């Protein structure tokens, strides 16, 4: 394992200065991670020497482009231990990945896909279960499926720290449940979900499981086969890769019969004037021109993470979580959303979302930005969980493998000055 201080040399942006010449302290990795030179080089080399249409040409450049495109798929598949690369579908981001599954279920429920897609059908009397801690990307699509099909949306409640209530899991998932969609790790509290417990309950009732792994894949060892879920979605830009690329992992037996939601060239087997049949996964979901350079970059990011070691990433970030979360929990007038971290186990991500009494989150963010510390402010696309905590917004610092312990402490130190600056110490 390389130390964070050594890894930083791979990330050119971390050498720059920001406000008033201050060195950049980048603590917004839960929103978008920075990219190492290896990823930047992979994208540039593809654009410079191998740019071509994938799976559509017989000339050398097209062959090279296709090889790099599919090689990247194989690399990302290895990172999450997919059964085969064909179980990994390229999408634009995790939001599109989840919508691909949700839209496919809605289409199957409308009769699209024929008898082989019947297992995806939902309707009146059926329930789709989510949790109170979901990002909007794993909430809104399921609202729309219910609106289109007549199914009912239900959710697992969380306690005052943001942990899913076991009694709610037991009562909400029942014989009516057809789909359970849930996050692997919260982007607000940092809590890592007990995936096994939810999967076990879903299996009892024969429900499909859809995992939002967006915050897990960049920071924790993820083995999609061992987790036992049916689908898992994640985004490239949170795992050191480019924007505009994401992935959906799914069991091949399910992907091959899930109706597509985007239609056109590249996904079809036969087309007549009357009807169309689809290719097997993953290509049935990859209509149109593909984000090839982005996929190549994501493949390079996957290789980078595997070289560092995901166990090492998790251990490093658990220590950062402890520094930030313990530090802010001791500050008067500062509320930490979620539990305090424990460096002996990676059950909380390396992030800390806080609410400062008497100071708006945007003002907190401005003070930090003036000190050169980049954080996220707002509701982090998670209004229901903030509402559960009785707040509108928070200020979130989030780390990655390149974040140092000194940077985590700097966040706490500057945060300690906020209430004094605004004169709200009383």
Q: Cα–Cα distance between 366 and 269 in angstroms, integer?
A: 54
Sign of the Cα pseudo-torsion (302, 306, 308, 309, in order): positive
Spatial contact of 424 and 359, defined as CB atoms under 8 Å apart: yes
The whole-angstrom separation of Cα 391 and Cα 389 is 6
Token pair listed for 358: 């008497």
Look-up of token digits 């990302």: 76
Q: What is the Cα–Cα distance from 97 to 231, expressed in whole angstroms?
A: 9
Catalytic (active site) residue 146:
no
Closest CA to 398 of 332, 353, 334: 353
| CA nearest neighbour of 395 among 354, 356, 358 | 354
- Among 24, 140, 268, 381, the active-site one is 381
Q: Give the residue numbers annotated as catalytic, written as ranges.
A: 381
């Amino acid at each position: 394992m390389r130390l964070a201080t050594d890894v930083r040399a791979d990330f050119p942006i971390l050498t720059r200065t920001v406000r008033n010449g201050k060195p950049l302290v980048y603590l917004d990795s839960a929103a978008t991670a920075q990219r190492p030179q290896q990823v930047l080089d992979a994208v540039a080399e593809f654009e410079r020497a191998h740019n071509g249409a994938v799976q559509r040409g017989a000339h050398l450049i097209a062959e090279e482009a296709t090889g790099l495109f599919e090689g990247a798929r194989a690399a990302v598949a290895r990172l999450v231990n997919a059964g085969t690369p064909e179980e990994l579908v390229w999408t634009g981001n995790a939001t599109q990945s989840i919508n691909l599954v949700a839209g496919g279920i809605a289409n199957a429920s409308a009769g699209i896909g024929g008898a082989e897609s019947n297992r995806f059908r939902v309707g009146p009397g059926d329930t789709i279960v989510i949790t109170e801690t979901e990002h909007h990307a794993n909430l809104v699509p399921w609202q729309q499926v219910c609106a289109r099909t007549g199914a009912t949306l239900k959710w697992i409640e969380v306690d005052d720290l943001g942990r899913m209530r076991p009694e709610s899991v037991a009562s909400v998932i029942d014989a009516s449940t057809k789909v359970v969609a849930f996050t692997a790790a919260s982007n607000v509290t940092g809590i890592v979900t007990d995936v096994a417990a939810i999967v076990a309950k879903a299996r009892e009732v024969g429900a499909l499981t859809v995992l939002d792994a967006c915050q897990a894949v960049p920071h924790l060892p993820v083995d999609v086969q061992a987790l036992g879920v049916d689908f898992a979605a994640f985004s490239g830009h949170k795992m050191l890769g480019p924007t505009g690329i994401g992935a959906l992992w799914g069991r091949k037996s399910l992907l091959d019969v899930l109706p597509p939601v985007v239609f056109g060239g590249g996904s079809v087997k036969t087309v007549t004037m009357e009807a169309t049949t689809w290719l097997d996964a993953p290509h049935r979901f990859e209509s149109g021109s593909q984000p090839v350079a982005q996929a190549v970059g994501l493949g390079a990011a996957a290789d980078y993470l595997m070289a560092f070691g995901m166990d090492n990433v998790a251990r490093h970030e658990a220590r950062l979580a402890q520094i930030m979360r313990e530090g802010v929990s001791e500050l008067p007038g500062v509320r930490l959303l979620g539990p305090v971290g424990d460096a002996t186990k990676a059950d909380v991500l390396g992030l800390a979302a806080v609410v400062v009494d008497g100071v708006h989150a945007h003002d907190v963010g401005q003070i930090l930005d003036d000190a050169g510390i980049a954080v996220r402010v707002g509701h982090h696309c998670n209004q229901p969980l903030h509402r559960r905590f009785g707040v509108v917004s928070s200020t979130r610092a989030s780390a990655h493998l390149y974040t140092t312990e000194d940077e985590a402490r700097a966040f706490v130190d500057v945060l300690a000055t906020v209430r004094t600056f605004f004169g709200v110490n009383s």
